[in-house]
Amino acid sequence: MGAGETITPCLTSTTLFPPKDVHHKITPVDLVAKEKTLTKRFVFDVTSLATLKAKAAAKGSCVDDPTCVEAVTALISMSAKNARRGKSLQGRSSMVITHVVNLRARTVPPLPGHAFGNIWQLTIAPIVEVENKTQWQDLVVQLRRAIGKIDDNYVKKLQGEDGLHQASESMKEVLDIASKGKVEFYTFSSWVGFPFYETDFGWGRPIWVCISNVPIKNVVMLMSTRSGNGIEAWVTLGEEDMATFENDQELLQFAFPVSSS
């Protein structure tokens, strides 16, 4: 985006995904924990991201070139899961990682980055029976497989007559798994690569872009650092879990906690 260039939002969402009459509803399940939470920021710089990706690929995970987002998601998920061990929910040996996937680049032809609307879909990577021998690199394969399902063919189905049903399937799956109460959910959303630091509303470009605290347990927001080559992870966990998580030695090999004040 050039200096002084004005970007006009692309308002074609309702044409690409025509509104449908809703004849069914999804019964909500209480996914918000009744416990105190803490949100803390962890920064992965360019060097640690390169090392993290190399370590994920070297594990022989069949993912030759994992993305930074996949590697960071897997590491945080496992560190968070380790923080739960020995706590009151010992029976939850399985975990589910949900990730929000941007559909713009997966549409044929691709939608512009400034296409307006919630053009995303939720993908689910259920990790069954996480044992002591399971490592974070093992999760990268599951993540790649789940995210890979959201492709151009999937988007075509969303645009078809049965698109609403297709779009709601992932949420119904989440609620069905959650209702059984035997898994721990970790929800991720990546804003990595969004041009926040190029946005000028007339006062100049921002020095730092951040989110507010997310008072929902096990939610992680990923954002680019100001330099554009690092990742900030905003992690929200229960207070007790955070006390263990922020001291996880494997996590601290790649990320460093930063005060958000």
- Give residue 117's pLDDT band: very low, low, confident or very high (50, 70, 90): confident
Structure-model confidence comparison of residues 14 and 95, the more confident one: 95
**Residues 71 and 48 sit within 8 Å (Cβ to Cβ):** no
Planar angle of CA 88, 189, 78, nearest 5 degrees: 40
Residue 53 pLDDT greater than 60, yes or no: yes
Question: What average pLDDT score do residues 53-69 get?
Answer: 77
Residues 6+ apart with CB under 8 A from 7: 1, 114
**Domains of the chain with CATH codes:** 55-256 (3.30.559.10)
**Residues 83 and 248 sit within 8 Å (Cβ to Cβ):** yes
Six token digits for residue 96: 């589910």
Q: Can you give the pLDDT at residue 220?
A: 95
Burial level of 79, CB count in 10 A (0-12/13-18/19+)?
A: buried
Question: What average pLDDT score do residues 66-81 get?
Answer: 93
Structure-model confidence comparison of residues 57 and 59, the more confident one: 57
- Give residue 91's pLDDT band: very low, low, confident or very high (50, 70, 90): very low
Per-residue model confidence as pLDDT tens digits over 161-206: 777 777 777 777 777 776 666 678 899 999 998 888 988 888 898 9
Q: Can you give the pLDDT at residue 63?
A: 59
Which residues, in sequence order, are bridge partners of residue 256? 43
Per-residue model confidence as pLDDT tens digits over 201-234: 888 989 998 887 778 889 999 999 999 899 999 9
Tell me the residue type at 107: T
Q: Can you give the pLDDT at residue 132?
A: 59
Q: Can you give the pLDDT at residue 88?
A: 47
Question: What average pLDDT score do residues 61-85 get?
Answer: 85
Q: Can you give the pLDDT at residue 4?
A: 58
The pLDDT mean for the chain works out to: 81
- Give residue 62's pLDDT band: very low, low, confident or very high (50, 70, 90): low
**Residues 221 and 212 sit within 8 Å (Cβ to Cβ):** no
Residue 130 pLDDT greater than 80, yes or no: no
